[in-house]
Structure 1
Amino acid sequence: MRKIILLTPILLIGLSGYSQQEVPAYKASLDSLKIFIDPLKKEAILERLVKNHPRDSFDQYRATLVDNFVIAKNSAKALFHFNQIAETARIMYVGSVATGIMAFDLKAAENLVEQELSNSTNAPEDRQFLLHLYSQVMAKQGDYKKAFAAIKECYEHAVRKTTGLTAEYYYLMSKTGGYKEALPELEKAVLAGLADDNYKAELKSAYAKVNPGKDSNAYLAALISQFEGKYRTAIAAKMLDEQAPNFNVTDIKGKKVSLSDFKGKVVVLDFWATWCGPCKKSLPAMQMLVNKYRKDPNVKFLFIHTWETVSDPTSDAVNYLLTHKLDLPLYMDLKNPDTKKNPAVSSFGVDGIPAKFVIDGSGKIRFKASGLVLPDEAAVEELSTMIDLSR
């Protein structure tokens, strides 16, 4: 089953058919849609462009406007523009839209996913994705019967039953009374590091119902201790001893920094980009991690934007962090105009992002991590252990 993340795209649009006088104004209007301004002003620009240029598709710009209205907590406008997407498959955006709206308007999120589920032309994998999403919305609402019904269909038809999907299935099974069958699977989720506080609370509840009179607090504490011991050992086995390149990046004011500036400190690098869905999905967990170590002067974080696809990547990256209320130390790895390569990410031999590196105080790479780790608590646990082992 696939998880689809909303990108903030830049539409590459053909300008043939416009006069030399019209093109600059048209491009200026398009450029104004790339930055975060008052979404109502952006809406006015977009509707004017749609009216004046009916031959062109503005689906991806409209998707960006949807994202802006979600951030502004205007679910009505967000859903209006989502439903105006005509030529691009809406399944590309529904996950991010529903997840964003879920934070402030659960009923709107429910209506959105139900609307998309009612589409009889959905491919089987798209229905799987939507069912999974619907179960999350309904669980957030506290309607565990509907949530379990959706996850049950999703789980039973899943080609690959991932550990995360399995944990969600048995969590909701327990929530709807299936304590005995769910208990061993919830236990596995804790031992695999996939259980957040809600899962742990449900495990305790299921244990108490299946084993009346026994100490559920001691039971959970023993499981967590077992997990932490095995987990730390497993992470330590991945420890590296590679010299890190003395890379150079710039902060958002243009000041150049290099690895040597952080001598004696553990440095965490996160190579990311605004066009990268998994990168953006991982940032809330990284914010949790930054907050955890904020008062530790011996741990430094560099969020390095790279592989840019827009003409002003610094503004693009700053706007993304600001509009998503992320307070992360941002650095830019800008493309070299001669080599056409981004030097910092190239020096680490990265072939995909997000890519994270944990470097110790002597400049040695101790850990590498790539891809997206979910849930957020599992990502924080993983990187926290790497940081502590690198001291």
Structure 2
Amino acid sequence: MKIVTLIFNIIFCIVLQTNAQQTEALNKRIQLMHAEKNPQKNIHTMYNIIKVFKLDTGKNVEEIDLLKGNVALSFLNAGNYTHFEAYIRKIKNKFNQTSFLNMAVSNLIKIEAFNYAAVLAKKTIELYESYKDDPSAKPNNFALEDWNRFMKMAAYPYYESYATVLHQKGQYKKALFYEEKALLGNENLLQSSIELYSALLVADGQTDKAYDLLLKTVAMGKASIKMTTLFKKLALQKLGSDGKVTVFLDSLQRTIKQQYALEVAQKMISNKVAPVFKLLDLNEKTVSLDSFKGKIVVLDFWATWCAPCVASMPAMKEISGRHPEVVFLYIATQETGIAPTTKVRNYVDTNKFPLNVLLDASSTTASAYLIKGIPTKVVIDRKGKIRFVTEGYLSDSELINELETMINLAKAQ
């Protein structure tokens, strides 16, 4: 979930701001702990970091809290909830406690452990509300203005996590209450937030409000596949027939396509030959870019640990299904840890997608294409020239509309 990334970034930013003198090496060690699955290894690493970097329990409270939080999460992920709670209690700063509690909730949601997730989500909110208006709770040397900004930012994921769990448990009215608290004052909502909010509005019988919310999102070309599906159902109730719904959606889509055609055309790249590569697929068969001469090729640079990469896969499945004449190659790159190939294979086997996965174990191909971050899509025309490069992921509709336009423009070359 994107909420996990948001919370970890918030707490990590606090550590950086409260002690600007900390070395890059220390920060990297802390981040590695966040990815470590073995609790005992993390305990050993924690004490080693405290010793090597001479962290003081008074001056370096934030750093030590971050170490304890990572140990706590590793116990949670190992299913040892007793030790998880023990290490959460060792965290001195209340904001750090709520941050790691919320990350725990997100991890529990992933494995559908909703009962314990509900307990922790409620505890997170109770603790947050106990100190959110208390300036003395802020970390040392942290500007009050920045602290107030963080408090407002933190409310979003804390309340939404609880709303998500309550939704899964069928407590829709209560979930709607906390989701509206999460969205209060927030203009730039995550795609997942709009999905949840619209579903809760429908469950509460507020179909008109859900329709208006989804109409705005669909008309902007920023809806997810789930949002579009729900919107079609609500539109059918209003318009009365599938035919009228289709005509209405087509009219919206025409406007969106016109906008994308103008914007995307300006991004077209000329005279840049796509670097050739030979990579192994999951069956250890060598696949060469040269073998697809005369075809439009879309490269998707991704990784299993990359949340936006994973979030974009439903949209990639949709767009690839629309264009069987286009070759889609999913290049798994920057995979970390032990047995990266196994991680990729497990992901594909579990999700039955993506197909045509290639393994860029040393990131050589990503480097050849000057990939700065993932996910990144590269559109190559029939002549083997790079026509478009698009980075990141915001919503299903935006990705689908953008790639649809890029593919059609590449075909015209």
TM over 0.5: yes
In structure 2, the CA distance between the partners of 1:134 and 1:224, relative to structure 1 (3 Å rule), is farther
Give the structure 2 partner of residue 260 of structure 1: 290
Question: Which of 140-149 and 199-208 deviates more?
Answer: 199-208
Once the two structures are overlaid, the 10-residue window that deviates more, 356-365 or 196-205, is 196-205
Q: Which range moves more in the overlay, 87-96 or 349-358? A: 87-96
Root-mean-square deviation (CA, aligned residues, Å) is: 4.8
Which amino acid in 1 is paired with 2:295?
K
Which one of 285, 305, 317 corresponds to residue 312 of structure 2? Answer: 285
Q: What's the offset of the Cα at 1:292?
A: 7.0
What is the CA-CA distance between 1:244 and the residue it aligns to?
A: 3.6
SS, match of residue 265 in structure 1: coil
1:117: how far off? 1.7
Q: For the structure 1 residues 177 and 320, does the alpha-carbon distance in structure 2 shift closer, same or farther, using more than 3 Å as the test?
A: same
Corresponding residue number in structure 1 for 2:280: 251
2:253 to 205, 208, 228: 228
Ranges in structure 2 where 5+ consecutive residues have no aligned partner: 13-23, 53-63, 133-150
Residues 1:271 and 1:172: Cα distance change in structure 2 (over 3 Å): same
Q: Given the alignment, which residue of 104, 109, 112 partners 2:117?
A: 109
Instruction: Give the C-alpha shift of residue 136 in structure 1.
Output: 2.7
Q: Which has the higher contact order (CA 8 A, sep 6+)?
A: 1
Matched, 1:271 2:316: no
- SS of aligned partner of 1:118: helix
User: What's the CA shift for 1:114?
Assistant: 1.9
Q: TM-score, normalised by structure 2?
A: 0.63
How far the C-alpha of 1:199 sits from its partner, in A, is: 5.8
Residue 64 and residue 353 in structure 1: after superposition, are their counterparts in 2 closer, same or farther (change >3 A)? farther
CA contact (8 A) 2:281 2:358 kept: yes
Cα deviation, 1:38-91, whole Å, max 9, x if unaligned, reads x6xx4455567779998586557647746854xxxx595896598478489466
User: C-alpha distance in 2, partners of 1:60/1:128?
Assistant: 21
Q: Secondary structure at the match of 2:260?
A: helix
In 2, Cα distance between the equivalents of 1:47 and 1:266? 51
What does residue range 26-175 of structure 1 map to in structure 2 within 5 Å? 42-43=38-39, 46=42, 59=68, 62=71, 65=74, 69=78, 76=81, 83=88, 86=91, 89=96, 97-103=104-110, 104-119=112-127, 120-121=130-131, 123-158=151-186, 160-162=187-189, 164=191, 165=193, 169=197, 172-175=200-203
Distance 1:227 1:350 in 2: 34
- Secondary structure of residue in 2 paired with 1:101: helix
Counterpart in 2 of 1:321? 344
Aligned to 2:230: 201
- Which whole-Å deviations, capped at 9, do the CAs of 1:246-304 have from their partners, x for residues lacking one? 154643799886643432233222334567xxx33322432663587489474131324
Between the two proteins, what is the percent identity of the paired residues? 20
Displacement of 1:369 after TM fit? 1.7
Q: 1:78 & 1:244 partners in 2: Cα distance?
A: 55
Whether contact under 8 Å (2:280, 2:286) holds in the other structure is: yes
State how far apart, in whole Å, the 1-side matches of 2:97 and 2:391 are.
Answer: 28
Letter in 2 for 1:220: V
Match of 1:186 among 214, 219, 231: 214
Distance in 2 separating the partners of 1:108 and 1:93: 15
The DSSP-based 3-state class of the residue aligned with 2:184 is helix
1:180, distance to aligned residue in structure 2 (A)? 3.6
> In the aligned structure 2, how far is the partner of 1:351 from the partner of 1:269?
14
Q: Tell me the CA shift for residue 94 of structure 1.
A: 5.9
Q: What amino acid does structure 2 have at the position aligned with 1:145? A: K
Deviation at 1:225, TM superposition (A): 1.7
Pair 256,183 (structure 1): closer, same or farther in 2 beyond 3 Å: closer
* 1:360 Cα deviation after fit: 2.2
Q: By percentage of residues, which structure has more helix?
A: 2
Larger mean Cα displacement after TM superposition, 250-259 or 177-186: 250-259
Alpha-carbon contact 1:252-1:314 (below 8 Å) kept: no
Unaligned runs of 5+ in 1: 15-26, 335-341
**Greater shift after overlay, 112-121 or 45-54?**
45-54
Q: Distance in 2 between matches of 1:283 and 1:90?
A: 28
Q: Which residue of 2 aligns with 1:368?
A: 389
Distance 1:181 1:68, change over 3 A: closer
TM-score, L = length of structure 1: 0.66
Does the residue aligned with 1:5 lie in a helix, a strand or coil?
Answer: helix
